[in-house]
Amino acid sequence: MNKDLLKMLDLTGDDILKILDLADQLKYDQHHGLPHKYLEGKTLAMIFEKNSTRTRVSFETGMFQLGGHALFLSGKESQIGRGEPIEDTARVLSRYCDGIMIRTFGQDEVETLAKYSSIPVINGLTDFAHPCQVLADLMTIREQMAHLDGLKLCFIGDGNNMANSLIVGGLKVGMEVAVACPEGYHPDPEVLAFAEGKPFTLTDDPKEAAKNADVIITDVWASMGQEEEREKRANAFAGYQVNEELLSVAHPGCMVQHCLPAHRGEEITADVFEAHADEIFEEAENRLHAQKAVMVLLMGGVN
């Protein structure tokens, strides 16, 4: 595996499966009260330039359970917010800590941070990617379906960080991936180039994408940083809702995943959300286990 986890494109299919296997083991250990303090005495710096509930709590709790410590640095309150270059922050944190998790806007910031850090950097969400979430999604799907290869993963909505990461992650583990997005909201060109020639479909027809799907995934129509476009986006995405009618064309027993937070009545109906709440909150729990696996593998607990 690479030094860092910056995007799903950085991982091979085998890397992903290795992370998921360790995540399953760590989940078992935690649920059975078995010790797993693989990162005793180690520290993770967590830089947040956007809001978070799950990412913050799962990384901080995960480090504690692994015997280490996590510290929260808000963009605003640290010197980053006063313009200290990311290159300098990288070299300073590398002398105190054993890993850095960052949630920010541009993927370039995360890439620069990693380039100047001698310690592993983990992307906790950028506008381009959300790899930790997709590892948790794949873990949850594999738990319920017993395998990933050959399953059809369908994403409905904005071609955003989640769509970009699901396309790459799904294809790398042998899934068929179908995405329905309106014109003007397509996934990133780098991701579409990766998907070319693989079992991948991009359409503007949600029913075509959802047909015979084993798992349907959606996300908010306006991501963090796009709040001012909310109305315009609500119009563009009308018709891209995950509802009973859409599920009726999917495979019987189709799973529904949502990274959360969810907007009921927008990208998903309250009925579908509640009918699949167990799967969705298992997915949220699995952020903890998947990220613990990433930290153990990158920060030196297990080879």
The entry of ligand CP, ligand NVA, none near residue 140 (CB within 5 to 8 angstroms by kind) is none
Nearer to ligand NVA, 71 or 224 (CB): 224
Nearer to ligand CP, 97 or 259 (CB): 259
**Is position 91 annotated as part of the catalytic site?**
no
Secondary structure letter of residue 301 according to DSSP? S
Residue 302 CB, nearest approach to ligand NVA (Å): 28
The entry of ligand NVA, ligand CP, none near residue 171 (CB within 5 to 8 angstroms by kind) is none
The catalytically annotated residue of 181, 219, 258, 276 is: 219
Nearer to ligand CP, 269 or 291 (CB): 291
Cβ pair 226, 246 in contact under 8 A: no
Query: Which helix (DSSP H) or strand (DSSP E) does residue 200 occupy?
Result: strand 200-203
The catalytically annotated residue of 4, 98, 103, 127 is: 103
**Is position 133 annotated as part of the catalytic site?**
yes
Q: Which residue in 151, 171, 82, 160 sits closest to 125, CA to CA?
A: 160
Residues interacting with ligand CP, by CB under 6 A?
Answer: 52-55, 125, 133, 259-260
| Strand residues in 36-89 grouped as ranges (E) | 43-48, 69-74
The entry of ligand NVA, ligand CP, none near residue 53 (CB within 5 to 8 angstroms by kind) is ligand CP
**Is position 142 annotated as part of the catalytic site?**
no
Cβ pair 120, 3 in contact under 8 A: yes
Q: Which residue in 209, 215, 43, 41 sits closest to 142, CA to CA?
A: 215
Residue 259 CB, nearest approach to ligand CP (Å): 4
Residue 14 CB, nearest approach to ligand CP (Å): 25
Nearest residue to ligand CP, scored by beta-carbon proximity: 55
* Amino acid symbol at 115: K
**Is position 287 annotated as part of the catalytic site?**
yes
**Is position 130 annotated as part of the catalytic site?**
yes
Torsion of CA 138, 139, 145, 148, to 10 degrees: 50
Residues interacting with ligand NVA, by CB under 6 A?
Answer: 125, 160-162, 219-220, 223-224, 259
**Is position 56 annotated as part of the catalytic site?**
no
Nearest residue to ligand NVA, scored by beta-carbon proximity: 223
Cis peptide preceding 261, ω within 30 of 0: yes
According to DSSP H, which parts of the chain are helical? 13-31, 54-65, 86-96, 107-116, 131-145, 161-172, 189-195, 206-210, 230-236, 244-247, 270-275, 277-298
The entry of ligand CP, ligand NVA, none near residue 160 (CB within 5 to 8 angstroms by kind) is ligand NVA
Active site residues: 103, 130, 133, 219, 259, 287
